[in-house]
Structure 1
Amino acid sequence: MYLFEISWEVCNKVGGINTVLSSKSRYVCNELKKKYFLVGPYVKDKARGEFVQHSAPEFLKEIFERLKPLGIFCRFGKWLVPGEPNTILIEYEGFSYRNDELKKMYWEEFGIDSLGSAYHDYDIPMIWSSAAGALLREVEKSVDERVIAHCHEWLSAGTILYLRSIESSVKTVFTTHATMLGRALTGESRELYNELDKINPEEEARKIGVVAKHHTEKAAAMHSDIFSTVSEITAIEAEKILGKKPDLILPNGIDESGKSVEELLIQHKLFRDRIRHFITYFFFPYYSFDIEESLIFYIAARYEFKGKGMDLLIDALSDLNRKLAEDKSEKTIIVLFLVPAGGTVIRETIVENKEAFNDIVESIQPEKSDIINRLTRAIISKRRICENALLPKDVISDIRKKLHYFKKTGTPELVTHYLPNEQSDAILNKLKSCDLVNSESSKVKVVFYPTYLTGTDGLINLNYSETIIGCHLGIFPSIYEPWGYTPVESAIRSVPAITTDLAGFGNFLINEKLEGEGIFVLRYFGKSYQDRVKQLADSLYHFASLNRQKRIDYKIKARNTAAKVSWKELVKNYFRAYEMLSGG
């Protein structure tokens, strides 16, 4: 059996499917060895650093030569992810002369109305994936074994449609990770699952201008040998919107190889302190609080304000703030909104705060060894410990002068970077309407971090993984999430997480009786907005009230739960599908 897995996100990160493929590949390579190939588009800037070109196997060299007269140019190499799978990247521009011919063929064969479709938005993926179909047709003629094409999302649907149009015997699997129309409707702030029984997919697709994509996805579902999706909740969506019940559910896994729980607990302290360093110069110029009694929560998501439940979260944080104030709690909750929003320039006040704080730290740094010695002697001799006992008078005087420049009036910022459209920003406006403006009396503080965590962003200076490890809780209250990698990514790093039963992963945990084991699943299906807010606020309050040992217990449970959705186990579902097609 030869397996070709086809996706627009091979060596071309756009969203979560890139994670699915890159994390799964080594497990498929272990099984199929040299008979497994990933196929993607050649996007020069994205391929750099991701893809290393190699000499192709002889049978592929011959195929690549036969494709050149058609305007299809293929590059063979390795994707630099675990397993380093065989990878073919297709340069499709030379095949674009067949665009109108392909559209006509797909209209006559499958009823796909692509008249007036946008070239870059729709036509290019269809040209590329049809070129992939031509590649597989040549593979089929060159090998004696079964050839299987596994296509992900509508962008690769042209492969299936091309092969069907020429009556190829290549077997096909089509996986929709979220229906195109479902995602588009949610993007319009529609509550998809509440409307699912009422909507007319054809009418809705025409209303919002996605009819070509909808028809293409539907045709791929109807004409593939196996139609699959990633979760039960997405299967319900797909059956209604695409008119076909998925044959199989193929849940997404995660690569659990990496650090042990013990290593992660050690790293948590290290990265937590790095985040606290940032928190100190962000807030302490204006007022102080007991940072040892602070907890760091986070949400990481694309900027889909309603779909990712950001409105629900902010309302729940408002309720949490009130409850903690009523309890006179010693806890301070810092919530990081890790939501890229076009932020590129750090706000001037924060740069000033950072420089002033680091200046103070640098004054103390040379005294570090002496401070340890003085502190040790003070403890042994039972003397009162004060600044005069730890630092020389000239150093104290110097620090007091620097504190003068560090301290400011007013309140801390809500956002770390300047935003393109701050006046209309949904997160900022919602925070302000809920009076979550980082006032001194507030027990819940918010930092909107609108840029990607690269490890060199100039503030936290941790990458995404390190930042997660340094937090105490991940919050993902999505109302539309076909699978949802973020809570899995949190839990595999030993950070407890909150998700919902409207997310495929949350639904999976309920069915597998794994909820509550470090990952908490809110029951959102069919519930009102206020009910959802209350559930989330109660969960946040519960976690904020835990003692340190209980939080550690949940960290261990979260890691163990995430390990149960590892590719080591879940990849077996994929091979069952391939066995069905290969007669095994």
Structure 2
Amino acid sequence: MEIQNPTKNNQKQKILIEIAWETCNQVGGIYTVIRTKVPSMVEKWGNNYFLIGPYFPQTASAEFEPIHDLDDSVLGKTIQKLRSMGLGVHYGYWLVTGKPRIVLFDFWSLYDKVNELKAGLWERHKISTLNVEEIVNQTIAFGEMIRLFLTELGKDQGGKNDFVAHFHEWMAATAIPDLKQDGVKISTVFTTHATMLGRYLAGNVPDFYDKLHTFNWQNEARHYGIEAQVTIERLAAQLSNVMTTVSDVTARECEFLLGKVPDLILPNGLNITRFSAMHEHQNLHSRYKEQINEFVMGHFFQSQPFNLDKTLYFFTSGRYEFSNKGYDLTLEALSRLNAKMKDAKIDKTVVMFFITKQPYHSIDPAVLHSRAVMDEIRQTCKSIEEQVGEKLFHASASTTDLQLPDLNNFVDEYWRLRLRRTIQTWKTNQRPKVVTHLLKQDDGIMDYVKKANLMNNPDDRVKIVYHPDFVVSTNPLFGLDYGQFVRGCNLGVFPSYYEPWGYTPLECIARGVPTITSDLSGFGDYMMQIMRDYEQWGVSVVNRKTQNFHQAAEQLSDMLLKFVKQTQRERITQRNRVESISDTFDWSNLRAYYDTSHDLALKRRKP
């Protein structure tokens, strides 16, 4: 499709190009931001919306569809120009909802010049790139292709169109200083989703937020070996037309670590799917909880059977950052919850899932074996059920006795023996495993579990399942994808210490699952700003700003205990309330923040 012609009064068309390392390249949360926002951006911009990302053949083969005819694109001449320079430029559709047009740069086609490019960055902008990680070299080559592309685009089309280039994170932003210095006719927006230095400092310096104003950014960046990344990030923040971040929490970091107060806050959203029938999300919860029940039976019932009707499933998930993600606080709160439930003689069980990615050898064979033997018990019971059913029917039809016959008489000796032997093989006196995989080495979660004695002891009311891998539908333990697993749980627990935004609690809300967050996460801070009675809507916020670790752990344990004490009816009501506010976070409502940043960038670049 062609873009529309300029109007009769020769008003320039506005064209938006979003640029990110995670465009068509799933690495972390920014991929979710970009991908889920696409339909809303296409709705506003139509064919005047494009994306730029790096070309990786493996991901491109699944998510990218080439366009061979360049004549219909405003970018066509520029793409052909770069190709004539011997550069690898792929143009086509990104195969996600909205099917936007995308340009993927094969930065390897320029990689032989990376040392020359690094020398230029030092000469022009004093960006030191000595002994950097390989990823920095790749982003510099990627950034040079972005610079060449936008410079050519500005020369060729800058008189006809108003371009906005929206850069996400330092990995896409090495071109910004040169675009500014060269006066390229492109308006620029830069968004940092988490400051590079903040992530390192928060995980290593106690009371990080209280000390923000005391840090010397360059000294700290050199200490952690990330001077190049932080310098790129600072220059992008200071030299773009508009600098933004995702939350007020991160805005404070930007002020002290990047030397720039953000112009705007751009909160993150999702594509929210609402069901026309109110009960449908409850039905899905029940269906997926049944599949989690299957795992729990296979994992725990070998030695510790308990009543699944009185069992609650809590979970936390995300990148493995033990303190930043609040895994330490969660474990301490669970230890306290365990003691409180024992003292109060609460006849319920909490199974807490930790879902994160850590190095492992394989799934623990003992965990797989237990599940396999349980499946064999199920198959044996089904065979007995069929045999009993058929014989019961014949006996009932042919008898004059109105009493229910003894069903044991209908089971062959073979099936009785097989069932007895299978159960005997399965049962054990050993404690259920805490971790489902064979870790390459123990980590903070396992160390804390041992210290707190949350080892799945028989009398524990709180059981722990540590799953150090992503949950996907091909997983032999759950057979669920992550979204289905979330729906099947009762509560998401995310009391982060460092969390610039926090998609995990937002994903809970989108699926009608109550959640706990913290006031140091961007999401939690945002909830407190927009909703006074957020607790009534199934969102609890742990105070980590003014409380120390033990005070926050006690508050979190009380929140968990309050949830445990709810009746089933109260939990259903709360899920309905959570689901009812999910529209608040749909991109159709949050895109307006992005619209404002793009308008402001155009306004600022014009003389």
Q: Name the TM-score, length of structure 2 as normaliser.
A: 0.90
- CA distance in structure 2 between the partners assigned to 1:208 and 1:387 by the alignment: 71
Q: How does 1:50-449 map to 2 (within 5 A)?
A: 50-58=63-71, 59-118=74-133, 120-143=134-157, 144-188=160-204, 190-257=206-273, 259=275, 261-368=278-385, 388=408, 395-422=415-442, 425-449=443-467
Q: 1:416 deviation in Å?
A: 0.8
The higher radius of gyration belongs to: 2
Alignment-derived partner of residue 26 in structure 2: 13
**Matched-pair contact (CA < 8 Å) for 1:238–1:244:** yes
Q: 1:68 deviation in Å?
A: 2.8
- CA distance in structure 2 between the partners assigned to 1:136 and 1:524 by the alignment: 43
Q: 1:181 deviation in Å?
A: 0.5
- CA distance in structure 2 between the partners assigned to 1:479 and 1:399 by the alignment: 50
Q: Deviations over 1:125-152 (max 9, x none)?
A: 0220221121112222232110110000
RMSD: 2.3
Q: Deviations over 1:13-44 (max 9, x none)?
A: 11100000000001100111111111000011
Question: Among 39, 55, 69, which residue is 2:52 paired with?
Answer: 39
Q: Partner amino acid for 1:114?
A: T
- CA distance in structure 2 between the partners assigned to 1:270 and 1:388 by the alignment: 32
State which drifts further: 326-335 or 69-78.
69-78
Shift in CA distance, 382/146, structure 1 to aligned 2, threshold 3 Å: farther
Q: Deviations over 1:450-503 (max 9, x none)?
A: 122121221111111111111111111110000000001111111111000000
- CA distance in structure 2 between the partners assigned to 1:90 and 1:24 by the alignment: 21
Asked if 1:459 corresponds to 2:472, the answer is no
- CA distance in structure 2 between the partners assigned to 1:383 and 1:337 by the alignment: 51
Q: 1:551 deviation in Å?
A: 0.6
- CA distance in structure 1 between the partners assigned to 2:81 and 2:206 by the alignment: 48
SS in structure 2 at match of 1:440: coil
Q: 1:385 deviation in Å?
A: 11
Q: Deviations over 1:494-532 (max 9, x none)?
A: 111100000000000000025211111111113201011
- CA distance in structure 2 between the partners assigned to 1:221 and 1:382 by the alignment: 84
Q: Deviations over 1:388-414 (max 9, x none)?
A: 499677644432222111111221111
Q: Deviations over 1:278-329 (max 9, x none)?
A: 1111111112111211011111111111111111111110000001111111
**Matched-pair contact (CA < 8 Å) for 2:314–2:352:** yes
Shift in CA distance, 387/211, structure 1 to aligned 2, threshold 3 Å: farther
SS in structure 2 at match of 1:460: coil
Asked if 1:554 corresponds to 2:589, the answer is no
Q: Partner amino acid for 2:581?
A: T
- CA distance in structure 2 between the partners assigned to 1:193 and 1:383 by the alignment: 74
- CA distance in structure 1 between the partners assigned to 2:405 and 2:522 by the alignment: 54
Alignment-derived partner of residue 482 in structure 1: 500
**Matched-pair contact (CA < 8 Å) for 1:127–1:158:** no
- CA distance in structure 1 between the partners assigned to 2:292 and 2:459 by the alignment: 22
SS in structure 2 at match of 1:49: helix
SS in structure 1 at match of 2:279: helix
Shift in CA distance, 568/334, structure 1 to aligned 2, threshold 3 Å: same
Alignment-derived partner of residue 526 in structure 1: 546
**Matched-pair contact (CA < 8 Å) for 1:518–1:561:** no
**Matched-pair contact (CA < 8 Å) for 2:502–2:521:** yes
SS in structure 2 at match of 1:329: coil
State which drifts further: 543-552 or 515-524.
515-524
Alignment-derived partner of residue 9 in structure 2: none
Shift in CA distance, 69/54, structure 1 to aligned 2, threshold 3 Å: closer
- CA distance in structure 1 between the partners assigned to 2:403 and 2:576 by the alignment: 40
- CA distance in structure 1 between the partners assigned to 2:200 and 2:574 by the alignment: 36
Q: 1:382 deviation in Å?
A: 12
SS in structure 2 at match of 1:255: coil
Aligned-pair identity (%)? 32
Shift in CA distance, 508/56, structure 1 to aligned 2, threshold 3 Å: farther
**Matched-pair contact (CA < 8 Å) for 2:388–2:407:** no
**Matched-pair contact (CA < 8 Å) for 1:491–1:562:** yes
- CA distance in structure 2 between the partners assigned to 1:264 and 1:157 by the alignment: 41
**Matched-pair contact (CA < 8 Å) for 2:242–2:600:** no
Alignment-derived partner of residue 497 in structure 1: 515
SS in structure 2 at match of 1:412: coil
**Matched-pair contact (CA < 8 Å) for 1:53–1:77:** yes
- CA distance in structure 2 between the partners assigned to 1:190 and 1:157 by the alignment: 30
SS in structure 2 at match of 1:345: strand
Q: How does 1:509-548 map to 2 (within 5 A)?
A: 509-513=527-531, 515-516=534-535, 517-548=537-568
Asked if 1:571 corresponds to 2:591, the answer is yes
State which drifts further: 16-25 or 87-96.
87-96
- Which runs of 5 or more structure 1 residues have no equivalent in the other structure? none
Asked if 1:26 corresponds to 2:39, the answer is yes
- CA distance in structure 1 between the partners assigned to 2:318 and 2:482 by the alignment: 12
- CA distance in structure 2 between the partners assigned to 1:564 and 1:545 by the alignment: 29
Q: 1:263 deviation in Å?
A: 2.1
Q: 1:579 deviation in Å?
A: 1.9
Aligned length: 577
Q: Partner amino acid for 1:159?
A: A
SS in structure 2 at match of 1:146: strand
- CA distance in structure 2 between the partners assigned to 1:522 and 1:491 by the alignment: 17
Q: Partner amino acid for 2:316?
A: I
- CA distance in structure 1 between the partners assigned to 2:202 and 2:106 by the alignment: 33
Q: Partner amino acid for 2:472?
A: T
Q: Deviations over 1:320-360 (max 9, x none)?
A: 00011111111000011111212352212222211221111
State which drifts further: 400-409 or 17-26.
400-409
**Matched-pair contact (CA < 8 Å) for 2:189–2:601:** no
Shift in CA distance, 56/533, structure 1 to aligned 2, threshold 3 Å: farther
- Which runs of 5 or more structure 2 residues have no equivalent in the other structure? 1-13
Shift in CA distance, 117/344, structure 1 to aligned 2, threshold 3 Å: closer
SS in structure 2 at match of 1:251: coil
